[in-house]
Every structure is written in structure tokens, then in C-alpha cells.
Structure 1
Amino acid sequence: MSSAFLKNETADAPVVIPARAPLPPGVTNYVTPRGLARLREELIELETEHAHLQASEVLDENERSRQMALLNGRIANLNQRISSAKVVDSHPQDEVRFGATVVLKTKTGKSPGTERRFTIVGVDEADASQGLIAFTAPIARAIQGKRVGDVVSLRTVQGEEILEITAIGYEME
């Protein structure tokens, strides 16, 4: 059985630090002002957890060392992501850009007439279940620079979809 399925890890097992959302090589780490604030909040939470772990007397030394290594790695990854962040403060425009909230209407495909609404954000802020799509996502790349009334084609697992942009908005932060 793979060691990934074992609950009890040995003291000498390497610490695996979970990866952040991938950012393709050479792509600028664009973030919204809200996205950068969330990254900084996450950093504060990790640093607080780190301080509590240092003061904890409940864990044995091996377990504390493993957890400290994990937290140190996560903090380092987050610091790197924050330092590479380029804030894009979106201003209302008549075309789709980073930070835009877009409404698309499906013209052809599996469910014609269906409307989808999402906001184009940075990779760390992306959460499809909340309508936040990374600027690196295929659908975001397909509509960048388009205007209300423009039609775009998008290849999906179900086949090609034709989508019309019906609204573009920019939240003021």
C-alpha cells in the first residue's frame, strides 16, 4: 500500500508541502486587490498557527518538527506568491479584462439559452463554485478583449460551445 494512504507517518518520512494553484511558467501573477488581501490574511493565519505550534506542549517533538516544517514550507510558498503578485485594479471598460464580471449566454451546445456569470481573477483567488475563474482558464482566455454582443467558440469535453457575451461589469473596490 502506498504511504499516502497510511495515517501514521514515520519520523524520517519527507514532509510534503501542498502546492498552491499552478501558475504557468513565465505568466505574471496577476491578482485583484481583494485577492492580495486574502493572500495576506492567509499568511497571518499561518503565522499565528506557527506561533501556537511553537508554544504547544501537547505534541511530541517529532510531530511538532514535522508540523513546523509543513507550516514553514506553506509560509515560504505564500510569501513567494505574495512577492510576485502584480495587483490589477480594474477600471470599468467596455471589453473583457482581468477583474471583469461577465455574463455569457450559451448559443449552441448541450444547453442552449443557459446563462453563466463569473469574474476573472488571479489563480490563488479562483474558485469555480463561487463564480471566480482564473485568468489562465480557457474560457477566460477565450473572452479576453471581447465586448457585449461578441460571440466566442469554446471547446469543452462535451464538444464545441458557442457563447455570446451579454454583460460586462467591473466591481469598484
Structure 2
Amino acid sequence: MSRGFVKEDDQEEIPMVPPRADLPEGVTNYVTQVGMDELLAEKENLINERDGIDTTNEKEKRITTNYINAKLQLLTNRIATSKTINLSKQPVGEIRFGALVTLKTGNKTTVQRYQIVGVDEADISKGKIAFISPIARILTEKKVGDIAILKLAKEDRIFKIIEITY
């Protein structure tokens, strides 16, 4: 039967699912092994959540199931398109994907540490930056002692590479 002949009260809203972290078209979805493990754990949690839906309201159950299924579809696509990088095979002494980089900014005496990771595992509060971020791009292929310059609207931010580990 066409949805046009269904009572207005019976029509379900299409679930609005927030998009995953942005990954530009055509860019390979690199992840660390930790990032892949987190994605797989997230998928397992969503499946368990969907399978454990316990509600007596059938409409509410369908809406919740549809929402979780939509999230699972996005996540499954992200996992299927990911490429896990073995950090032990990255070039020692050069910043590449997965590097944990210690930086000194400008004339400051304190240092900052960032790890260059995949878009889904990036979290600045944990010191993890996405490989497609401007700072990761200027750091890539640099070595200890090199200077990287991030051009900002009002100034240039200068970083000196102090240490690189994987």
C-alpha cells in the first residue's frame, strides 16, 4: 500500500544519523591498529544495543532499530574502506601516519605531543590529530630538528620537531 493512504499518526520519522568524521572523497581511510580495534568495538556495541532493545512500544522499537541500523551502515562502510597501517613499518626518524611527534611551538619552552591518526580516531583532547588536518600535513615527512610552518590568517605558527616515535 502506498504511504499516501496511511494515517498521518502512523508515519515514522526517518532517523537523522550524524555523519562520521569527514573524509574527503578519494582519500584513503588510513587507521592505526588501535583505531581499527575501536571501530570494531563500536560496531559490536551497536549490534548488542540493537539486539538488546527492550520496549513494549512497537513503533518506538522500529524507530530505535532503524536509527541503530543507519549508524551501523555508516560504520560498516568506514570499516570496509579502511586501510590499517603497521606502525612498525613506518620509516624511523621521519613523520608519517601513526607517528607520535613531540613539538616545540615558537618561543615557548613547553612541548606538545601529537599522534597522527585516522579521522575516526582523532581526538585533540587525547593528543590525536587526523592525518588530513593542516598541522599533520605540514609535519608529514619532516625529521627531528626540522621546522614546520603553519600559515594562519594573522600569523605563522612555527613548530620545531623535537622527537618522533611510533
Normalising by the smaller structure, the TM-score range is: 0.7 to 0.9
SS of the equivalent of 1:98 reads coil
Contact kept, 8 Å, 2:12 with 2:63, in 1: the verdict is no
Aligned counterparts, 1:98-137, within 5 A: 98-108=97-107, 112-137=108-133
Structure-1-length-normalised TM-score? 0.84
With over 3 angstroms needed to count, the CA separation of the structure-2 counterparts of 1:59 and 1:138, relative to structure 1, is farther
Structure-2-length-normalised TM-score? 0.88
With over 3 angstroms needed to count, the CA separation of the structure-2 counterparts of 1:163 and 1:67, relative to structure 1, is same
In structure 2, list runs of 5 or more residues that go unmatched: 1-9
State the shift of 1:11 in Å. Answer: 5.3
Choose the corresponding residue for 1:68, options 59, 65, 69.
65
Choose the corresponding residue for 1:144, options 133, 136, 140.
140
In structure 1, list runs of 5 or more residues that go unmatched: 1-9
CA offset digits 1:86-117 (Å, max 9, x no partner): 01011251100001000110125xxx333110
With over 3 angstroms needed to count, the CA separation of the structure-2 counterparts of 1:132 and 1:13, relative to structure 1, is same
State the shift of 1:155 in Å. Answer: 2.5
* Residues 1:163 and 2:159 aligned together: yes
**Equivalent residue letter for 1:32:** T
Aligned counterparts, 1:13-24, within 5 A: 13-24=13-24
Runs of 4 or more off by more than 3 Å in structure 1?
none
* CA distance, structure 2, for counterparts of residue 34 and residue 115 of structure 1: 24
* CA distance, structure 2, for counterparts of residue 164 and residue 42 of structure 1: 36
With over 3 angstroms needed to count, the CA separation of the structure-2 counterparts of 1:71 and 1:113, relative to structure 1, is same
* CA distance, structure 2, for counterparts of residue 62 and residue 11 of structure 1: 10
- Aligned-pair identity (%): 39
- 2:4 corresponds in structure 1 to none
Contact kept, 8 Å, 1:11 with 1:62, in 2: the verdict is no
Compute the RMSD of aligned alpha carbons: 1.6
**Equivalent residue letter for 1:161:** R
**Equivalent residue letter for 1:45:** N
Contact kept, 8 Å, 2:30 with 2:82, in 1: the verdict is yes
